[in-house]
Structure 1
Amino acid sequence: MRFHDATVKAGQWLACELGLGTMKHARKDIYIIILARYIRLFAYGAVALILALFFQEQGFSDEQIGLFMTLTLLGDVVISLLLTLIADTLGRRRILLLGAVSMAVSGAVFATTSNYVALLLAAIVGVISPSGNEIGPFRAVEESTLAHLVAEDKRSDVYTWYVVLAVLGTSTGLAVGGIAIDHLQAIEGWTNLDAYRTIFWIYTCVGCVKGVMTLFLSQACEHQDWNVDDGKKNLVSAETEPLLHSNGGHTQDQPTSAQEETAPAQPPPKKKFWHSISKISKPSRITLIKLCSLFFLDSFGSGMVPFSLINYYLERKFELPKGKLGGIMSATWFVSTLGNIFASSLAKRLGLIQAMVFTHLPSSLFLALLPLPSSLALTICFLVGRSVLNSMDQAPRSAFLSIVVLPEERTAVMGVVNILKTLSQSCGPSVTGVLAGHGRFWVAFVVAGCLKAGYDGALLAFFGRRVEGGAREVGQDREDGE
């Protein structure tokens, strides 16, 4: 009996630590968003494995490959800015559907043409990821929607599984992509380019599936909800409701006549294009500037060594078959899932900022040391060490950002952060392309690791006031500033 009780308690503790209890009672929309991101990252992983090799096969130089990735990221900044700022006005579900359609179109273009300009335009519009990670406006919209749907004390659990499934998606995409390429290349009469184009057709199919999934999201995902109560329709902003209560408990004015009671509620007025930026309060802007300054260092370092260029470097250094390369990369992404699962538990004990720094700093050092080994085995060890720790900061970072700003600011703030991160990443591939073209490919890894380590130190210095501080301290400062 005691053993049974101990087992039950252990199971309950584990479920609580891993956020399984939260996910068990999550609504349908949360599952759809997380699953949609899984298949999107599956497509990103498959493409990141062969993107640089795809261009090499067509005769493009290292400098052209780096320039292509830089221009792609810069273009994505513009697209992301436009879509993120109008997400709450146009509708979050429409933005996500638009992204799915764009994925399908860009995949078809890559599968059918070799024109550099056409490929560049398709990569910008369709958000082709050079790194296998999320770029574009869709993560910002999804994270804001999750924050809208989930209570504050449960968000770190949901964000953890949001990241875990994304990592699994990339891992699966790498494994399936590598195996598929080896099998396709073995077909008589097929060239490497034919095999690579087939991967982009898979990318197109994933975009179509993701579009269908978006249609099943409910109205609750939108910034504004229409609620029916006792026969009266009242327009309620679910995200701003806590703010209304905090401002002295004031609510909307009650109808003063029977005509007003029975009159249908009017939809909210259309917001101006820059409303999403202008509505960010001054205290939030100060915090946002600090964070963006730090994220610049981290993202520029990440931009120098996107996942596709890491694949390219290893393939060039060790001359690996595509299936083996995909298997190695898939394994590194898969083991990183183990770290992500425990990210929420770690954040609860150390604080959000401390959990971010204490996991991300060692991964930065592993990145800087990656070119050092001459053997494949030790290189894989560094890759695995970096992968286990590298993305453990994502869930705490998302939870941190959702707390330090007001609810109605989340989409805009997260969008600005992701856009500026993408902008800072955009210069990196060109720098690495020049280095690779001059036989100094390894320098990119050393510089990137040092920049990311500098970000970790500065983040801890600015925001890690004490172990249990984290985001709530900053959030309190924000309230005091108002």
Structure 2
Amino acid sequence: MIQVQSIQPTTWLFTARSLRDFGDGFMAILLPVYLLALGFSPLQVGIIATASLLGSALLTIVIGFLGAHHDLRRLLLAAAGLMVATGAAMPIISDYALLLAVAFVGTINPSAGSVSIFVPLEHAVLAREVANVERTRMFARYSLVGALASAGGALAAALPDFMTRLGLAQLTAIKLMFVLYAVVGILGSLVYARIPPRPASHETDKPGTLGPSRAIVLKLAALFSLDAFAGGFVVQSLLALWLFERFNLSLSEAGVFFFWTGMLSAFSFPVAARLSRHVGLVNTMVFTHIPSSVALMLAAFAPTLPLALALLLVRAALSQMDVPTRSSYVMAVVTEAERAAAASFTSVPRSLAAAVSPAIAGALFAASYRAWPLLICGALKITYDLLLLLQFRHLKPPEEG
């Protein structure tokens, strides 16, 4: 019999990440369908997405300071509890103002990606558990399990279609998926509880603040904000909305499509880790990102559904290769005592910036300018990539030095 104590903390962390990404995977697709079924407009859907991302950003600010002073496991358990409360509250509310409030204070993630209060905590735990030489590979594995789980969650988004064939109303079926989201949060909390408690570091007098790496982190945060603002125009919920409105895609078809985008993203992570050993972390981020943005912009003009889906699949295969490399790079260029704060300081501006653009995209959808969110996203992301290359191509992590 395997003893609980023999399992590595990283294994528990990966398991918890896969559970919450599974929940995020189906919620990102079902959220716009649920809101439209309640009678809300695309603009209101965009505002809900903005509220969700803005709330995550503000909670991440708090987490960034608490993470240096409190046990990370305890904070992860609190975040999982919030996930349970969110899943329990969403299906019993139909008033828009209350839904907006739940989106703001809860954990619903319209991007189905690494924009949540869990992220800086998990990054800090992972970075402390691995050596420098293993860091990028472990971040790639961490991203891989999350993306695979998110792909599975996307497939699960088709469950309401099957439930309707059994006689359930679509709205009732979607509400049951929110209950499933709460159950996933409970399971996640049980897994987080297995991570060994470890008191916060007291190596510095002010462990919650940035020290010698402040200038680097602030510059990275500014660039990451531009990237996140761009990405907010096509968070998964809004991309699903675009496909629903432009090509009349069904819920089941959307689930299958986002499953495959998730699979492509997942298997791009180990490729990114391997590639980074040869060309460096920054080059890997930039030279995989630019072609993905071009594919997204071309998809905006695609005249047929198969061509649009093909271009979006190309984008999915490339666009997330910067995720493990970016996380590893941030952890590499700061001191160990600054890692929790650095993860927060780079995550918060991303979340704040990403919170603005979904409402703008929703307004563009409502005005029938459906291609513009994709075009704006691609152009801004290419700008971010070029600036990142110019600013950081000479700042190498220890393993590249």
TM-score of the pair, normalised by structure 1: 0.79
* Higher RCO (CA-CA < 8 Å; seq separation 6+): 2
205-214 or 60-69: bigger deviation: 60-69
Shift of 1:276: 4.7
Contact 1:99–1:126, Cα closer than 8 Å, also in 2 = no
Q: Equivalent residue for 2:396?
A: 470
Matches within 5 A, 1:271-290: 275-277=206-208, 279-281=209-211, 283-290=212-219
| Aligned residue number for residue 3 of structure 2 | none
Letter in 1 for 2:319: N
Partner of 1:328: 257
Q: In the alignment, what sits opposite 1:37?
A: 17
- How many residues are matched? 396
The residue number in structure 1 matching 2:225 is 296
Distance 1:27 1:383, change over 3 A: same
How big is the shift at 1:133?
0.9
- Counterpart check, 1:145 vs 2:74: no
CA distance in 1, matches of 2:282, 2:114: 21
Alpha-carbon separation, structure 1, partners of 2:367 and 2:350: 27
Cα distance in 2, alignment partners of residues 332 and 79 from structure 1: 29
Give me the whole-angstrom Cα distance separating, in 1, the residues matched to 2:166 and 2:156: 17
Give the Cα separation in 2 of the matches to 1:55 and 1:31.
Answer: 36
Distance 1:385 1:343 in 2: 15
Q: Deviations over 1:175-232 (max 9, x none)?
A: 1221x111112122x2221121111111000000001111111134x434xxxxxxxx
CA–CA separation in structure 2 for the residues paired with 1:393 and 1:167: 13
Say whether the 8 Å CA contact 1:296–1:424 is kept in structure 2.
yes
- What secondary structure, in the 3-state scheme, does the structure 1 residue paired with 2:124 have? helix
Aligned pair 1:168/2:172, yes or no?
no
Give the unaligned 5+ runs of structure 2.
1-5
Distance 2:172 2:207 in 1: 44
Mapped to 2, the partners of 1:472 and 1:453 lie a distance apart of 27
- What's the CA shift string for 1:221-256, capped at 9, x where partnerless? x434xxxxxxxxxxxx6xx5xx9xxxxxxxxxxxxx
Higher mean C-alpha displacement, 425-434 vs 360-369: 360-369
Q: Displacement of 1:364 after TM fit? A: 1.3
For structure 1, which runs of at least 5 residues remain unmatched after alignment?
Answer: 1-25, 225-236, 244-270, 477-482
Distance 1:150 1:87 in 2: 18
Deviations along 1:343-385, one digit per CA (max 9) or x if unpaired, are 1110110011001111111111112222111111111111111
1:415 aligns with 2:353: no
Residue identity matched to 2:140 = T
- Partner Cα distance (2:386, 2:260) in 1: 29
Which SS does the other structure have where 2:302 is aligned? coil
Pairwise CA RMSD of aligned residues? Answer: 1.8
2:287 maps to 358
Please name the residue that 1:182 is paired with.
161
Greater shift in the superposed pair: 115-124 or 44-53: 115-124
Matched, 1:450 2:376: no
Q: Structure 1 CA distance, aligned partners of 2:261 and 2:185?
A: 25
Q: How far off is 1:30 after superposition?
A: 0.3
From the CA coordinates, give the structure whose radius of gyration is larger. Answer: 1
Does the aligned pair in 2 maintain the 1:41–1:170 contact within 8 Å? Answer: yes
State the identity %: 28
* Residues 242-291 of structure 1: per-residue CA shift (max 9 Å, x gap): x9xxxxxxxxxxxxxxxxxxxxxxxxxxx8xxx455x312x411111211
Match of 1:223 among 200, 208, 212: 200
2:222/2:349 contact within 8 Å kept: no
Taking structure 2 as the reference length, the TM-score comes to 0.95
In 2, Cα distance between equivalents of 1:433 and 1:313: 10
